[in-house]
Chain A
Amino acid sequence: MGIKVLRAGLQTTVQDLGRYGFQQHGVIVSGAMDTFALRMANLLVGNDEGEAALEITLMGPRLEFEQDALIAICGADLSAKIDGVPARQWCPVYIKKGSILSFGGCVFGCRAYLAVAGGFAVKEVLNSRSTYLRAEIGGYFGRALQEGDELTIGLPAEWSGRKIQKLAEQDAGMSPLGWGISVDVFPNYDTNPMIRVVRGAQFNCFEQESRDEFLSSPFKVLPQSDRMGYRLKGPKLELSEPLEMISEAVASGTVQVPPEGQPIVLLADRQTAGGYPKIAQIISVDLPVIAQTKPGESLRFQIVSLEEAEALYVAREMQIEQVRRAIALRYQ
Protein backbone atom coordinates (compact mmCIF):
# COMPACT_ATOMS: atom_id res chain seq x y z
CA MET A 1 0.00 0.00 0.00
CA GLY A 2 1.24 3.42 -0.89
CA ILE A 3 2.88 4.66 -4.03
CA LYS A 4 5.07 2.56 -6.27
CA VAL A 5 7.76 4.24 -8.34
CA LEU A 6 7.55 2.88 -11.89
CA ARG A 7 10.03 5.43 -13.23
CA ALA A 8 12.08 7.77 -11.08
CA GLY A 9 12.40 10.87 -13.26
CA LEU A 10 15.46 13.12 -13.42
CA GLN A 11 15.70 13.88 -9.72
CA THR A 12 12.76 13.22 -7.45
CA THR A 13 13.42 13.69 -3.74
CA VAL A 14 11.43 13.89 -0.54
CA GLN A 15 11.64 17.43 0.89
CA ASP A 16 9.93 19.45 3.57
CA LEU A 17 10.61 23.01 4.72
CA GLY A 18 14.19 22.16 5.70
CA ARG A 19 16.40 20.96 8.49
CA TYR A 20 16.83 23.95 10.77
CA GLY A 21 18.78 24.22 13.98
CA PHE A 22 21.89 22.29 12.96
CA GLN A 23 23.80 24.70 10.75
CA GLN A 24 26.16 25.36 13.65
CA HIS A 25 27.11 21.69 13.32
CA GLY A 26 27.73 22.07 9.60
CA VAL A 27 24.46 20.35 8.69
CA ILE A 28 22.94 22.06 5.67
CA VAL A 29 19.31 23.22 5.63
CA SER A 30 18.09 21.36 2.49
CA GLY A 31 14.30 21.42 2.01
CA ALA A 32 12.11 22.46 -0.90
CA MET A 33 13.61 24.93 -3.36
CA ASP A 34 10.17 26.49 -3.89
CA THR A 35 8.79 26.57 -0.37
CA PHE A 36 5.67 28.45 -1.48
CA ALA A 37 4.61 25.63 -3.81
CA LEU A 38 5.37 22.99 -1.17
CA ARG A 39 3.35 24.82 1.48
CA MET A 40 0.39 25.29 -0.87
CA ALA A 41 0.43 21.66 -1.99
CA ASN A 42 0.32 20.51 1.62
CA LEU A 43 -2.40 22.93 2.69
CA LEU A 44 -4.55 21.89 -0.26
CA VAL A 45 -4.66 18.27 0.89
CA GLY A 46 -5.23 19.13 4.55
CA ASN A 47 -1.63 18.57 5.73
CA ASP A 48 0.49 20.79 7.90
CA GLU A 49 2.21 23.16 5.52
CA GLY A 50 5.64 21.69 6.35
CA GLU A 51 4.78 18.04 5.70
CA ALA A 52 7.12 16.05 3.46
CA ALA A 53 6.28 16.12 -0.26
CA LEU A 54 8.03 15.08 -3.45
CA GLU A 55 10.16 17.63 -5.26
CA ILE A 56 10.05 16.70 -8.92
CA THR A 57 12.68 18.19 -11.21
CA LEU A 58 12.06 18.88 -14.93
CA MET A 59 11.47 15.28 -15.99
CA GLY A 60 8.93 13.78 -13.66
CA PRO A 61 8.47 10.24 -12.38
CA ARG A 62 5.81 7.67 -13.18
CA LEU A 63 3.95 6.68 -10.02
CA GLU A 64 1.36 4.02 -9.35
CA PHE A 65 -1.09 4.70 -6.54
CA GLU A 66 -1.81 1.50 -4.64
CA GLN A 67 -4.49 3.19 -2.54
CA ASP A 68 -7.08 5.94 -2.92
CA ALA A 69 -5.52 9.30 -2.15
CA LEU A 70 -5.96 13.03 -2.23
CA ILE A 71 -3.07 14.81 -3.94
CA ALA A 72 -2.05 18.30 -4.98
CA ILE A 73 0.61 19.30 -7.48
CA CYS A 74 1.97 22.85 -7.23
CA GLY A 75 4.91 24.73 -8.71
CA ALA A 76 6.24 23.90 -12.17
CA ASP A 77 3.86 22.70 -14.88
CA LEU A 78 5.44 19.43 -15.98
CA SER A 79 2.34 18.18 -17.84
CA ALA A 80 1.07 15.94 -15.05
CA LYS A 81 -1.39 13.30 -16.18
CA ILE A 82 -3.50 10.82 -14.26
CA ASP A 83 -4.16 7.73 -16.36
CA GLY A 84 -3.34 9.82 -19.41
CA VAL A 85 -5.75 12.66 -18.57
CA PRO A 86 -4.19 16.06 -17.78
CA ALA A 87 -4.30 16.67 -14.02
CA ARG A 88 -5.21 20.09 -12.68
CA GLN A 89 -2.53 21.80 -10.61
CA TRP A 90 -2.79 24.06 -7.56
CA CYS A 91 -5.91 22.24 -6.43
CA PRO A 92 -6.73 19.04 -4.53
CA VAL A 93 -7.35 16.04 -6.77
CA TYR A 94 -8.84 12.73 -5.74
CA ILE A 95 -6.93 9.83 -7.24
CA LYS A 96 -8.25 6.29 -7.28
CA LYS A 97 -6.38 3.17 -6.31
CA GLY A 98 -4.60 1.70 -9.32
CA SER A 99 -4.21 5.05 -11.10
CA ILE A 100 -0.94 6.11 -12.65
CA LEU A 101 0.42 9.62 -12.24
CA SER A 102 2.89 10.53 -14.96
CA PHE A 103 4.60 13.64 -16.20
CA GLY A 104 5.45 14.90 -19.67
CA GLY A 105 7.14 17.95 -21.12
CA CYS A 106 8.00 21.03 -19.10
CA VAL A 107 5.50 23.79 -19.85
CA PHE A 108 6.66 26.19 -17.15
CA GLY A 109 9.17 26.21 -14.32
CA CYS A 110 11.66 23.68 -13.06
CA ARG A 111 10.28 21.96 -9.94
CA ALA A 112 6.84 20.57 -9.19
CA TYR A 113 5.72 19.52 -5.72
CA LEU A 114 3.49 16.54 -5.13
CA ALA A 115 1.78 16.42 -1.76
CA VAL A 116 -0.49 13.58 -0.64
CA ALA A 117 -2.99 13.81 2.20
CA GLY A 118 -1.16 12.24 5.14
CA GLY A 119 2.29 13.04 3.81
CA PHE A 120 5.06 10.60 3.03
CA ALA A 121 5.93 8.38 5.97
CA VAL A 122 9.71 8.55 5.88
CA LYS A 123 11.90 8.67 8.97
CA GLU A 124 12.60 12.06 10.47
CA VAL A 125 16.33 12.75 10.83
CA LEU A 126 17.36 15.78 12.88
CA ASN A 127 13.79 17.09 12.95
CA SER A 128 13.30 16.97 9.19
CA ARG A 129 12.30 14.61 6.41
CA SER A 130 14.27 16.49 3.77
CA THR A 131 16.76 14.54 1.70
CA TYR A 132 20.40 15.49 2.27
CA LEU A 133 22.00 13.72 -0.65
CA ARG A 134 25.66 14.21 0.17
CA ALA A 135 25.35 12.97 3.76
CA GLU A 136 22.86 10.30 2.64
CA ILE A 137 20.35 11.11 5.37
CA GLY A 138 16.68 12.08 5.47
CA GLY A 139 14.03 11.57 2.82
CA TYR A 140 13.80 8.16 1.20
CA PHE A 141 16.92 6.41 2.58
CA GLY A 142 18.94 9.58 2.00
CA ARG A 143 18.70 9.41 -1.77
CA ALA A 144 16.63 10.38 -4.80
CA LEU A 145 13.84 7.99 -5.76
CA GLN A 146 14.65 5.01 -7.96
CA GLU A 147 12.56 2.65 -9.98
CA GLY A 148 10.89 0.06 -7.76
CA ASP A 149 10.80 2.19 -4.59
CA GLU A 150 7.67 1.99 -2.47
CA LEU A 151 6.55 5.13 -0.68
CA THR A 152 4.26 4.81 2.31
CA ILE A 153 1.55 7.40 2.78
CA GLY A 154 0.85 8.66 6.29
CA LEU A 155 -2.52 9.02 7.95
CA PRO A 156 -4.52 11.90 6.43
CA ALA A 157 -6.03 14.64 8.58
CA GLU A 158 -9.59 13.88 9.61
CA TRP A 159 -11.19 16.21 7.05
CA SER A 160 -9.21 15.03 4.05
CA GLY A 161 -9.62 11.43 5.17
CA ARG A 162 -13.40 11.90 5.17
CA LYS A 163 -13.25 13.40 1.70
CA ILE A 164 -11.26 10.45 0.35
CA GLN A 165 -13.70 8.00 1.91
CA LYS A 166 -16.73 9.80 0.49
CA LEU A 167 -15.32 9.87 -3.03
CA ALA A 168 -14.28 6.24 -2.78
CA GLU A 169 -17.82 5.28 -1.74
CA GLN A 170 -19.16 7.13 -4.77
CA ASP A 171 -16.68 5.12 -6.85
CA ALA A 172 -15.42 8.40 -8.29
CA GLY A 173 -12.68 8.49 -10.90
CA MET A 174 -9.95 11.11 -10.88
CA SER A 175 -11.67 14.25 -9.66
CA PRO A 176 -10.39 17.72 -8.91
CA LEU A 177 -12.28 19.15 -5.97
CA GLY A 178 -13.16 22.24 -7.96
CA TRP A 179 -11.31 24.85 -5.94
CA GLY A 180 -7.69 25.77 -5.53
CA ILE A 181 -5.07 28.46 -5.12
CA SER A 182 -5.76 31.69 -6.98
CA VAL A 183 -2.97 33.04 -9.20
CA ASP A 184 -3.37 36.29 -7.27
CA VAL A 185 -1.31 34.90 -4.42
CA PHE A 186 1.40 33.32 -6.61
CA PRO A 187 4.96 34.60 -6.35
CA ASN A 188 6.10 36.54 -9.45
CA TYR A 189 6.68 33.33 -11.40
CA ASP A 190 8.01 34.15 -14.86
CA THR A 191 10.30 32.84 -17.54
CA ASN A 192 13.53 34.92 -17.54
CA PRO A 193 12.29 36.62 -14.37
CA MET A 194 13.22 39.78 -12.58
CA ILE A 195 14.58 38.88 -9.14
CA ARG A 196 14.52 41.41 -6.33
CA VAL A 197 17.53 41.70 -4.05
CA VAL A 198 18.77 43.76 -1.15
CA ARG A 199 22.38 44.91 -1.02
CA GLY A 200 24.87 42.34 0.21
CA ALA A 201 27.38 43.16 2.94
CA GLN A 202 30.13 43.70 0.34
CA PHE A 203 27.97 45.44 -2.31
CA ASN A 204 29.92 48.66 -1.97
CA CYS A 205 33.27 46.85 -2.31
CA PHE A 206 32.54 46.22 -6.00
CA GLU A 207 33.57 48.61 -8.77
CA GLN A 208 30.83 51.13 -9.57
CA GLU A 209 30.66 49.72 -13.09
CA SER A 210 30.22 46.19 -11.76
CA ARG A 211 27.45 47.31 -9.41
CA ASP A 212 25.66 49.00 -12.32
CA GLU A 213 26.04 45.98 -14.54
CA PHE A 214 24.84 43.63 -11.83
CA LEU A 215 21.60 45.60 -11.69
CA SER A 216 21.13 46.16 -15.42
CA SER A 217 22.47 43.15 -17.33
CA PRO A 218 20.82 39.78 -17.82
CA PHE A 219 22.60 36.83 -16.20
CA LYS A 220 22.29 33.43 -17.79
CA VAL A 221 21.59 30.37 -15.61
CA LEU A 222 24.34 27.86 -16.47
CA PRO A 223 23.77 24.10 -16.86
CA GLN A 224 25.82 23.22 -13.76
CA SER A 225 23.18 24.93 -11.57
CA ASP A 226 21.51 22.71 -9.01
CA ARG A 227 19.89 22.65 -5.58
CA MET A 228 23.17 23.77 -4.01
CA GLY A 229 23.45 26.89 -6.09
CA TYR A 230 22.84 28.57 -9.42
CA ARG A 231 25.92 29.50 -11.40
CA LEU A 232 25.31 32.56 -13.48
CA LYS A 233 27.09 34.02 -16.49
CA GLY A 234 27.09 37.71 -17.25
CA PRO A 235 29.44 40.68 -17.18
CA LYS A 236 32.50 40.12 -15.01
CA LEU A 237 31.97 41.60 -11.55
CA GLU A 238 35.09 43.09 -10.02
CA LEU A 239 36.03 44.32 -6.58
CA SER A 240 37.50 47.81 -6.29
CA GLU A 241 40.38 46.29 -4.35
CA PRO A 242 41.24 42.80 -3.14
CA LEU A 243 39.27 41.80 -0.08
CA GLU A 244 40.41 39.56 2.76
CA MET A 245 37.30 37.56 3.60
CA ILE A 246 36.77 35.35 6.64
CA SER A 247 34.29 32.47 6.35
CA GLU A 248 30.89 33.15 7.87
CA ALA A 249 27.30 31.97 7.59
CA VAL A 250 25.47 32.32 4.29
CA ALA A 251 21.75 32.16 3.57
CA SER A 252 19.41 30.88 0.91
CA GLY A 253 19.55 33.49 -1.84
CA THR A 254 23.01 34.83 -1.00
CA VAL A 255 24.63 36.03 -4.23
CA GLN A 256 28.37 35.57 -3.83
CA VAL A 257 31.10 36.40 -6.31
CA PRO A 258 34.23 34.22 -6.45
CA PRO A 259 37.43 35.74 -7.88
CA GLU A 260 36.61 34.83 -11.50
CA GLY A 261 33.82 37.41 -11.30
CA GLN A 262 30.72 35.32 -12.13
CA PRO A 263 28.02 35.26 -9.45
CA ILE A 264 26.72 32.15 -7.70
CA VAL A 265 23.31 32.16 -6.00
CA LEU A 266 23.30 29.87 -2.97
CA LEU A 267 20.12 27.85 -2.58
CA ALA A 268 18.56 25.01 -0.54
CA ASP A 269 21.56 22.65 -0.45
CA ARG A 270 24.17 25.38 0.14
CA GLN A 271 27.02 24.75 2.54
CA THR A 272 26.56 26.40 5.91
CA ALA A 273 29.42 28.88 5.53
CA GLY A 274 31.10 30.76 2.71
CA GLY A 275 34.02 33.06 2.24
CA TYR A 276 33.33 34.94 -0.99
CA PRO A 277 32.19 38.56 -1.18
CA LYS A 278 28.40 38.87 -1.12
CA ILE A 279 27.13 41.37 -3.65
CA ALA A 280 23.45 40.84 -2.91
CA GLN A 281 20.82 38.77 -1.18
CA ILE A 282 17.62 37.67 -2.93
CA ILE A 283 14.56 38.70 -0.95
CA SER A 284 12.64 35.83 0.62
CA VAL A 285 9.45 36.24 -1.42
CA ASP A 286 11.42 35.88 -4.67
CA LEU A 287 13.24 32.66 -3.72
CA PRO A 288 10.40 30.56 -5.19
CA VAL A 289 10.79 32.54 -8.41
CA ILE A 290 14.45 31.68 -8.89
CA ALA A 291 13.72 28.08 -7.82
CA GLN A 292 11.49 27.79 -10.88
CA THR A 293 14.04 29.10 -13.38
CA LYS A 294 16.00 26.51 -15.27
CA PRO A 295 19.37 26.40 -16.97
CA GLY A 296 19.33 28.43 -20.16
CA GLU A 297 16.97 31.09 -18.81
CA SER A 298 18.20 34.58 -17.92
CA LEU A 299 17.71 36.53 -14.71
CA ARG A 300 17.81 40.21 -14.01
CA PHE A 301 18.33 41.69 -10.58
CA GLN A 302 16.48 44.66 -9.18
CA ILE A 303 17.41 46.30 -5.91
CA VAL A 304 14.84 47.04 -3.21
CA SER A 305 15.24 48.36 0.31
CA LEU A 306 15.31 46.05 3.31
CA GLU A 307 12.06 47.66 4.50
CA GLU A 308 10.34 46.80 1.21
CA ALA A 309 11.60 43.23 1.42
CA GLU A 310 10.27 42.95 4.98
CA ALA A 311 6.89 44.41 4.05
CA LEU A 312 6.60 41.92 1.16
CA TYR A 313 7.59 39.07 3.48
CA VAL A 314 4.95 39.92 6.07
CA ALA A 315 2.27 40.53 3.44
CA ARG A 316 3.02 37.11 1.89
CA GLU A 317 2.76 35.36 5.25
CA MET A 318 -0.53 37.07 6.02
CA GLN A 319 -1.84 36.00 2.62
CA ILE A 320 -0.83 32.41 3.32
CA GLU A 321 -2.68 32.59 6.64
CA GLN A 322 -5.78 33.64 4.73
CA VAL A 323 -5.35 30.73 2.33
CA ARG A 324 -5.03 28.39 5.29
CA ARG A 325 -8.25 29.69 6.83
CA ALA A 326 -10.11 29.51 3.51
CA ILE A 327 -9.02 25.89 2.98
CA ALA A 328 -10.08 24.94 6.51
CA LEU A 329 -13.56 26.26 5.67
CA ARG A 330 -13.66 24.19 2.47
CA TYR A 331 -13.00 21.03 4.40
CA GLN A 332 -15.66 21.65 7.04
Chain B
Amino acid sequence: MTISVPSSILQSAQRAFPFGPPILELEQISLRFGGVQALTNISFNVLEHEIRAIIGPNGAGKSSMLNVINGIYRPQEGSITVRGEHLAEMTPTHAAEIGIARTFQNIALFRGMSVLDNIMAGRNLHMHATFMEVALQLPRARREETENRAVVEEIIEFLEIEHIRKVPVSRLPYGLQKRVELGRALAAEPTILLLDEPMAGMNIEEKQDMCRFILDVNDHYGTTVVLIEHDMGVVMDISDRVVVLDYGKKIGDGTPDEVRSNQDVIDAYLGVAH
Protein backbone atom coordinates (compact mmCIF):
# COMPACT_ATOMS: atom_id res chain seq x y z
CA MET B 1 0.00 0.00 0.00
CA THR B 2 1.45 3.35 -0.97
CA ILE B 3 0.74 6.54 0.84
CA SER B 4 0.02 9.29 -1.60
CA VAL B 5 2.23 12.11 -0.53
CA PRO B 6 2.00 15.20 -2.68
CA SER B 7 4.62 14.57 -5.31
CA SER B 8 5.53 18.23 -5.49
CA ILE B 9 7.49 17.82 -2.33
CA LEU B 10 9.23 14.66 -3.36
CA GLN B 11 10.15 15.56 -6.87
CA SER B 12 11.45 19.05 -6.32
CA ALA B 13 14.41 19.20 -8.61
CA GLN B 14 16.63 20.60 -5.96
CA ARG B 15 16.61 19.60 -2.36
CA ALA B 16 16.49 22.61 -0.09
CA PHE B 17 19.27 21.02 1.88
CA PRO B 18 21.54 18.74 -0.15
CA PHE B 19 23.00 15.83 1.77
CA GLY B 20 25.94 16.75 3.90
CA PRO B 21 28.66 14.63 5.43
CA PRO B 22 27.70 11.93 7.91
CA ILE B 23 26.23 13.63 10.96
CA LEU B 24 25.84 10.42 12.90
CA GLU B 25 28.10 7.38 12.70
CA LEU B 26 27.55 4.16 14.56
CA GLU B 27 30.26 1.57 14.63
CA GLN B 28 30.12 -2.01 15.85
CA ILE B 29 27.35 -1.32 18.37
CA SER B 30 26.54 -4.32 20.53
CA LEU B 31 23.96 -4.27 23.30
CA ARG B 32 23.05 -6.96 25.80
CA PHE B 33 20.42 -7.15 28.52
CA GLY B 34 21.25 -9.94 30.91
CA GLY B 35 21.11 -12.94 28.64
CA VAL B 36 19.43 -11.23 25.72
CA GLN B 37 21.56 -9.97 22.85
CA ALA B 38 19.59 -6.99 21.58
CA LEU B 39 22.06 -5.65 19.02
CA THR B 40 25.12 -7.25 17.43
CA ASN B 41 27.85 -5.33 15.63
CA ILE B 42 25.60 -2.74 14.08
CA SER B 43 27.34 -0.15 11.93
CA PHE B 44 25.75 2.48 9.74
CA ASN B 45 25.82 6.19 9.20
CA VAL B 46 23.29 8.96 8.73
CA LEU B 47 24.08 11.81 6.35
CA GLU B 48 23.24 15.32 7.34
CA HIS B 49 19.83 16.44 6.11
CA GLU B 50 18.72 12.99 5.05
CA ILE B 51 15.72 10.99 6.16
CA ARG B 52 16.94 7.56 7.28
CA ALA B 53 14.51 4.82 8.09
CA ILE B 54 15.22 1.86 10.36
CA ILE B 55 12.99 -1.06 9.58
CA GLY B 56 12.74 -4.68 10.55
CA PRO B 57 10.40 -7.28 11.99
CA ASN B 58 9.17 -6.95 15.56
CA GLY B 59 11.83 -7.45 18.17
CA ALA B 60 14.61 -6.69 15.75
CA GLY B 61 16.12 -4.15 18.07
CA LYS B 62 15.02 -0.96 16.35
CA SER B 63 13.90 0.89 19.48
CA SER B 64 17.00 -0.29 21.28
CA MET B 65 19.06 1.19 18.46
CA LEU B 66 17.37 4.54 18.91
CA ASN B 67 17.85 4.33 22.65
CA VAL B 68 21.55 3.78 22.11
CA ILE B 69 21.84 6.82 19.83
CA ASN B 70 20.14 8.96 22.39
CA GLY B 71 22.00 7.66 25.40
CA ILE B 72 19.22 5.85 27.21
CA TYR B 73 20.97 2.52 26.76
CA ARG B 74 24.71 2.17 27.06
CA PRO B 75 26.09 -0.32 24.52
CA GLN B 76 28.64 -2.79 25.75
CA GLU B 77 30.68 -2.37 22.58
CA GLY B 78 30.86 0.11 19.78
CA SER B 79 31.06 3.84 19.38
CA ILE B 80 28.92 6.77 18.43
CA THR B 81 30.31 9.70 16.48
CA VAL B 82 28.25 12.88 16.11
CA ARG B 83 29.43 15.51 13.61
CA GLY B 84 32.83 13.91 13.53
CA GLU B 85 33.16 14.08 17.29
CA HIS B 86 33.72 10.71 18.83
CA LEU B 87 31.72 10.33 22.02
CA ALA B 88 33.03 8.13 24.79
CA GLU B 89 29.66 8.01 26.48
CA MET B 90 26.29 9.28 25.52
CA THR B 91 23.78 10.33 28.13
CA PRO B 92 20.26 11.52 27.36
CA THR B 93 21.06 14.97 28.70
CA HIS B 94 24.19 15.25 26.58
CA ALA B 95 22.29 14.03 23.52
CA ALA B 96 19.77 16.80 24.09
CA GLU B 97 22.52 19.36 24.43
CA ILE B 98 24.11 18.43 21.12
CA GLY B 99 20.82 18.73 19.30
CA ILE B 100 19.27 15.28 19.30
CA ALA B 101 15.56 15.06 20.07
CA ARG B 102 13.23 12.08 19.93
CA THR B 103 9.77 10.69 20.27
CA PHE B 104 8.89 7.37 21.85
CA GLN B 105 7.00 4.34 20.66
CA ASN B 106 4.58 4.34 23.56
CA ILE B 107 4.12 8.09 23.81
CA ALA B 108 6.10 9.64 26.60
CA LEU B 109 4.11 12.78 26.99
CA PHE B 110 3.75 14.39 30.40
CA ARG B 111 0.27 13.26 31.23
CA GLY B 112 -0.44 15.82 33.91
CA MET B 113 0.21 18.78 31.63
CA SER B 114 -1.57 20.46 28.75
CA VAL B 115 -0.43 20.38 25.13
CA LEU B 116 1.05 23.84 25.48
CA ASP B 117 2.94 22.98 28.64
CA ASN B 118 4.28 19.78 27.15
CA ILE B 119 5.72 21.59 24.17
CA MET B 120 6.97 24.43 26.36
CA ALA B 121 8.77 21.79 28.40
CA GLY B 122 10.58 20.91 25.22
CA ARG B 123 12.06 24.43 25.22
CA ASN B 124 13.81 23.63 28.46
CA LEU B 125 17.34 24.02 27.13
CA HIS B 126 16.50 27.48 25.87
CA MET B 127 15.22 28.77 29.20
CA HIS B 128 17.84 29.93 31.59
CA ALA B 129 16.03 31.87 34.29
CA THR B 130 16.71 30.55 37.78
CA PHE B 131 13.93 29.49 40.09
CA MET B 132 14.24 32.73 42.01
CA GLU B 133 13.71 34.76 38.88
CA VAL B 134 10.68 32.67 38.00
CA ALA B 135 9.30 32.88 41.54
CA LEU B 136 9.65 36.66 41.65
CA GLN B 137 8.63 37.05 37.99
CA LEU B 138 11.69 39.14 37.29
CA PRO B 139 12.05 40.62 33.81
CA ARG B 140 14.31 37.90 32.40
CA ALA B 141 11.90 35.17 33.45
CA ARG B 142 8.91 36.98 32.01
CA ARG B 143 10.68 37.77 28.78
CA GLU B 144 11.86 34.20 28.35
CA GLU B 145 8.38 32.87 28.97
CA THR B 146 6.88 35.13 26.33
CA GLU B 147 9.63 34.57 23.77
CA ASN B 148 9.55 30.83 24.10
CA ARG B 149 5.79 30.88 24.05
CA ALA B 150 5.99 32.56 20.66
CA VAL B 151 8.27 29.83 19.31
CA VAL B 152 5.99 27.14 20.69
CA GLU B 153 2.96 28.79 19.13
CA GLU B 154 4.70 28.62 15.75
CA ILE B 155 5.14 24.91 16.20
CA ILE B 156 1.54 24.54 17.29
CA GLU B 157 0.44 26.35 14.17
CA PHE B 158 2.70 24.24 11.99
CA LEU B 159 1.24 21.05 13.42
CA GLU B 160 -2.31 22.39 13.23
CA ILE B 161 -3.14 21.79 16.87
CA GLU B 162 -4.14 25.30 17.90
CA HIS B 163 -7.58 24.18 18.92
CA ILE B 164 -6.33 21.83 21.60
CA ARG B 165 -3.46 23.75 23.05
CA LYS B 166 -4.91 23.98 26.56
CA VAL B 167 -6.26 20.44 26.70
CA PRO B 168 -4.54 18.01 29.09
CA VAL B 169 -2.76 15.54 26.85
CA SER B 170 -4.24 12.53 28.58
CA ARG B 171 -7.60 13.50 27.12
CA LEU B 172 -6.43 13.54 23.53
CA PRO B 173 -6.92 10.73 21.03
CA TYR B 174 -3.86 8.67 20.22
CA GLY B 175 -3.12 10.30 16.87
CA LEU B 176 -3.11 13.79 18.31
CA GLN B 177 -0.92 12.72 21.19
CA LYS B 178 1.66 11.50 18.71
CA ARG B 179 1.50 14.84 16.99
CA VAL B 180 2.00 16.69 20.26
CA GLU B 181 4.99 14.51 20.98
CA LEU B 182 6.44 15.46 17.63
CA GLY B 183 5.83 19.08 18.56
CA ARG B 184 7.66 18.66 21.83
CA ALA B 185 10.64 17.16 20.04
CA LEU B 186 10.60 19.98 17.49
CA ALA B 187 10.50 22.57 20.27
CA ALA B 188 14.08 21.75 21.09
CA GLU B 189 15.06 22.90 17.56
CA PRO B 190 17.02 19.72 17.06
CA THR B 191 19.47 19.00 14.27
CA ILE B 192 18.80 15.28 14.53
CA LEU B 193 15.26 14.05 15.09
CA LEU B 194 14.73 10.44 16.22
CA LEU B 195 11.18 9.22 15.67
CA ASP B 196 10.08 5.87 17.05
CA GLU B 197 7.10 4.68 15.02
CA PRO B 198 5.59 8.14 14.68
CA MET B 199 2.68 6.81 12.69
CA ALA B 200 1.77 3.71 14.64
CA GLY B 201 -1.94 3.35 15.13
CA MET B 202 -2.89 6.16 12.78
CA ASN B 203 -5.41 6.08 9.99
CA ILE B 204 -4.54 7.07 6.43
CA GLU B 205 -5.32 10.75 6.81
CA GLU B 206 -3.34 11.06 9.99
CA LYS B 207 -0.42 9.29 8.33
CA GLN B 208 -0.56 11.65 5.40
CA ASP B 209 -0.47 14.60 7.78
CA MET B 210 2.45 13.15 9.71
CA CYS B 211 4.38 12.46 6.52
CA ARG B 212 3.75 16.01 5.44
CA PHE B 213 5.02 17.35 8.77
CA ILE B 214 8.14 15.23 8.71
CA LEU B 215 8.95 16.18 5.13
CA ASP B 216 8.28 19.84 5.88
CA VAL B 217 10.58 19.81 8.86
CA ASN B 218 13.30 18.19 6.82
CA ASP B 219 12.68 20.54 3.92
CA HIS B 220 12.41 23.84 5.80
CA TYR B 221 14.88 23.37 8.61
CA GLY B 222 17.16 20.73 7.19
CA THR B 223 16.59 18.55 10.23
CA THR B 224 18.10 15.11 9.84
CA VAL B 225 15.47 12.50 10.58
CA VAL B 226 16.00 8.94 11.73
CA LEU B 227 12.73 7.12 11.96
CA ILE B 228 11.52 3.66 12.82
CA GLU B 229 8.52 2.72 10.81
CA HIS B 230 6.53 -0.38 10.00
CA ASP B 231 4.46 0.97 7.15
CA MET B 232 6.44 0.01 4.05
CA GLY B 233 4.62 2.49 1.91
CA VAL B 234 5.67 5.36 4.12
CA VAL B 235 9.23 4.12 4.26
CA MET B 236 9.53 3.73 0.53
CA ASP B 237 8.02 7.13 -0.13
CA ILE B 238 9.65 9.47 2.29
CA SER B 239 12.96 8.03 3.28
CA ASP B 240 16.21 8.62 1.45
CA ARG B 241 18.00 5.58 2.77
CA VAL B 242 17.02 2.58 4.85
CA VAL B 243 18.70 0.33 7.41
CA VAL B 244 17.17 -3.08 7.94
CA LEU B 245 17.57 -4.94 11.23
CA ASP B 246 16.62 -8.47 12.10
CA TYR B 247 17.32 -10.24 15.40
CA GLY B 248 19.66 -7.41 16.33
CA LYS B 249 21.80 -7.69 13.21
CA LYS B 250 21.99 -5.44 10.19
CA ILE B 251 20.79 -7.24 7.09
CA GLY B 252 20.31 -4.40 4.68
CA ASP B 253 21.52 -0.85 4.09
CA GLY B 254 20.81 1.37 1.10
CA THR B 255 18.15 3.24 -0.80
CA PRO B 256 14.58 2.02 -0.49
CA ASP B 257 14.74 0.37 -3.90
CA GLU B 258 17.99 -1.44 -3.15
CA VAL B 259 16.63 -2.69 0.16
CA ARG B 260 13.31 -3.73 -1.33
CA SER B 261 14.99 -6.16 -3.66
CA ASN B 262 17.48 -7.52 -1.12
CA GLN B 263 16.78 -11.23 -0.70
CA ASP B 264 17.79 -11.30 2.96
CA VAL B 265 15.32 -8.57 3.72
CA ILE B 266 12.55 -10.35 1.90
CA ASP B 267 13.33 -13.56 3.76
CA ALA B 268 13.29 -11.80 7.10
CA TYR B 269 9.88 -10.31 6.51
CA LEU B 270 8.44 -13.51 5.15
CA GLY B 271 9.74 -15.33 8.17
CA VAL B 272 12.09 -17.63 6.35
CA ALA B 273 14.25 -19.37 8.91
CA HIS B 274 17.87 -18.37 8.84
Whether A associates with B in a native complex is: no
Q: Which residues of B approach A to under 8 Å, CB–CB? A: none
